[in-house]
Amino acid sequence: MNYIIGLLSAVFLVLAIMIVNKSMALSKGLQRNEEEDGYSPVDGANKNNALGMLLFLVLGSIGAAWSFKVSQPDFLPEAASEHGLKTDEMFWTSMAVITFAFFVTNALLFYFAFRYQWKKDRVATFYPVNHKLEIIWTIVPAIVMAVLVFTGWRTWSEITSQAPSNAVVVELTGKQFNWLVRYPGNDDNKLGEYDWRLIDDNNQWGMKFDDENSFDDFTSTSEIHIPKGVPVLLRIRARDVLHSVYLSYQRVKMDAVPGMPTKFWFKATKTTEEMRAELQKPDFNYKLNCTEVCGRGHFGMALTLVVDEPEDYKKWCLEQKPFLTTNPDYLAKVPEKLKAKASKYIVAPEASSDSTTASIGGTSTIVTIK
C-alpha cells in the first residue's frame, strides 16, 4: 500500500509545481500588458487555471475510483448480523446513488468551468432563470430522498422494534475504561436490580442482593459471549460518563448513558470461528469498541466478543459461576428471608478455592473456545 502514498504525493507535488511554473511565466508576460491598459481581472494564467479544472476532474476521478478499489478489500467484511446485512445493502445502494450524483455534478462543474473560460470576444449568455429547470431539479432530488427515507425508515423501525421475548439478554456497563458484562444467570434467566450506590471494588455492577434475581447472575470483565442465530438483547448502561457500544462487524452501536439505560437487539449470523475461517486469520476476535469519547483510555476501551453456536453458548453459560458463588461475602447483604435461597449459591469453601472462574473481575480465565 505504500505506493499509494508515493504516487498520490507525487501527483500532488507535480500538479502544484506545474501550476506554479506556468502561471508565473505567464503572469510575467501579462504584467507588462497591464501597465499599458490599466488593471484587468483576466490574466495570462486564466487558460492554465481552466486547464487545471479539467485536469483536476480527470485525475481526481481516476484517483477517486482507484483509491476506492485499493481500499475496498480492507473495509469491514460482510455484516455478521441480520440487520447489518440489510443496512449494508442499503448503504451500498445509497452509495451508488450519491456516487453517481457526485461524478455528474462535479463533472459538470469542472467541465463548464473549463469550457466557458474567458475568451476575448465571447459574451456570456444572460440567463437569469428557468422555472422548468428549477422545478425539475427540486422534484427529482425530492423523489430520490423520499425513496431513501422510506426504505431507511422501514429498516430503522425493524431494527429498533421491541426485542422478541425469547431474546438472550446480556447487560453491558461502560466505565472508565473497560466494559462490565453481566448475564441473567442459569436459573431464573432474569437480571437482578442494581443501584449505583452499592458499587464497590468487587461488586462493580452495584448488584442489589435484596433482589433474589441477582443471586444467579454471573459476570465478566474480559469478554462477552453471545449465541449465533438467536436474538440477543443488549441492555446497556454506564457508571460514570458517556460511552458507546460499537460492534463493528455486527453493525451495532448504542450509547451507554449514566442514569438512562439503553438497549439494542440483533441477531448475529456468524460465529467467531466462522469469521476466522472467512478472514483466514486464526487468531481473529470480534471487538467491542467504545465510540463516545470518555477520557484518557477511550481508545483502548475494548472488549472481546465471542459469538458461539447456540449449543456452545449454553454449555459455556452452564460453566459460569454466579457472582455470589465467587464472592460469598456478599451473602451478608442478603436480607434474612432470602438467605435460604441465596445460600444455594454458596459452595463449601474448599470447593471454590481452586476453581478457575470466569466471574471475578478482570482475572477470569475460563475460555470456551474450542
Partner 1 sequence: METAELHVHDVHSHDEHEHEHHELGFIRKYIFSEDHKTIAKQYLISGIIWAFFGGALSILFRLQLGFPGAKLEWLRPILGGWINESGKLDPEFYLALVTMHGTIMVFFVLTAGLSGTFSNFLIPLQVGARDMASGFINMLSYWFFFVSSVLMFSSLFIETGPASGGWVIYPPLSALPQAMPGSGLGMTLWLLSMTFFIISSLMGGINYICTIINLRTRGMTFTKLPLTIWAFFLTAVLGLLSFPVLLSAALLLIFDRSFGTSFYLSEIYINGEALPNVGGSAILYQHLFWFLGHPEVYIVLLPALGITSEVIATNSRKPIFGYRAMIGSMMGITALAFIVWAHHMFVTGMNPFLGSVFMFLTLIIAVPSAVKAFNYITTLWKGNIIFTPAMLFSIGLVSMFISGGLTGIILGNSALDINLHDTYFVVAHFHLVMGAASFFGLMAGVYHWFPKMFGKMMNRTAGYVHFWCTFVGVYLVFFPMHYIGIAGFPRRYYAWTQVNGFEAFADMNMFISIAAILTFTSQMVFAVNFFYSIFKGKAAPQNPWNSNTLEWTAPVNAGHGNWVGEIPAVYRWAYDYSKPGSATDFIPQNVPYSATPESNLPEENEEIATEKEIDGLLEAQNESYNR
Q: Which is nearer to partner 1, 81 or 320 (CB)?
A: 81
Binding map of Cu ion across residues 143-172, x = CB under 5 A, - = no contact: ------------------------------
The CA dihedral of 198, 200, 183, 163, to the nearest 10 degrees, is: 50
Determine, following the binding rule CB under 5 A, whether residue 298 of this chain makes contact with Cu ion: yes
Contacted by 296, from partner 1, Cu ion, none: CB < 5 to 8 Å by type: partner 1
Helix or strand (DSSP H, E) at 236: strand 231-238
Distances in Å between the Cα of 54 and the Cα atoms of 15, 60, 250, 347 are 12, 10, 42, 78
Instruction: Give me the least distance between CB of 255 and Cu ion, in Å please.
Output: 10
- Least distance between partner 1 and beta carbon 251 (Å): 4
Options 294, 305, 334, 358; binder of Cu ion; rule CB under 5 A: 294
Q: Find the shortest distance in angstroms from Cβ 255 to partner 1.
A: 5
Rank residues 8 and 351 by Cβ distance to partner 1 and give the closer one: 8
**Residue 215 C-beta: closest distance to partner 1, Å:** 22
Asked if 22 is part of the footprint of Cu ion (rule: CB under 5 A), the reply reads no
Pick what 8 binds: partner 1, Cu ion, none; C-beta below 5 to 8 Å, kind-dependent: partner 1
Residues near 322 by beta carbon (within 8 Å), at least 6 away in sequence: 185, 215, 216, 217, 218, 345, 359
Q: Closer CB to partner 1, residue 264 or residue 345?
A: 264
Judged by CB under 5 A, the chain residues 40 through 79 that form the site for Cu ion are none
Using CB under 5 A as the binding rule, whether residue 290 contacts Cu ion is answered as yes
Per-residue CA distances from 368 to 73, 223, 300, 313 (Å): 31, 11, 24, 9
CB atoms within 10 A of CB 354: 6
Partner in contact with 118, chosen from partner 1, Cu ion, none, beta carbon below 5 to 8 Å by kind: partner 1
For residues 197 and 337, which CB has a smaller minimum distance to partner 1 in the complex?
197
CA distances from 36 to 9, 40, 244 (A): 41, 11, 67
Q: How far is the CB of 245 from Cu ion (least distance, A)?
A: 10
> Do residues 260 and 287 lie in contact, with contact meaning Cβ atoms separated by under 8 Å?
no
Asked if residue 43 lies in contact with residue 26, where contact means CB atoms within 8 angstroms, the answer is yes
Please give the grid coordinates belonging to residue 257: 448513558
Smaller CB separation from Cu ion, 68 or 299 = 299
Quick one: what does residue 9 bind among partner 1, Cu ion, none, with the CB cut-off 5 to 8 Å set by partner type? Answer: partner 1
**What minimum distance in Å lies between the beta carbon of 18 and Cu ion?**
39
Residue 328 cell numbers, joined: 460469598
The span from the CA of 293 to the CA of 216, in Å, is 33
Position 253 contacts Cu ion (CB under 5 A): no
Residue 190 found at the interface with Cu ion (CB under 5 A): no
Q: Which residues of 135-162 are buried (b: 16+ CB within 10 A; e: fewer)?
A: eeeeeeeeeeeeeeeeeeeeeeeebeee
Q: Which is nearer to partner 1, 57 or 346 (CB)?
A: 57
Which of Cu ion, partner 1, none does residue 68 bind (CB under 5 to 8 Å by kind)? partner 1
Instruction: Say which entry of partner 1, Cu ion, none residue 124 contacts (CB below 5 to 8 A, set by partner kind).
Output: partner 1
Cβ atoms of 227 and 308 closer than 8 Å: yes
What minimum distance in Å lies between the beta carbon of 152 and Cu ion? Answer: 16
Phi, psi of 238 (to 5 degrees): -135, 150
User: Residues binding Cu ion: what is the number (CB under 5 A)?
Assistant: 5
Residue 309 identity: E
Residue with smaller CB distance to partner 1, 164 or 297: 297
Round to whole Å and give the CA distance between 100 and 275: 33
Fill in the DSSP letter of residue 17. H
Q: Which residues bind Cu ion (CB under 5 A)?
A: 243, 290, 294, 298, 301
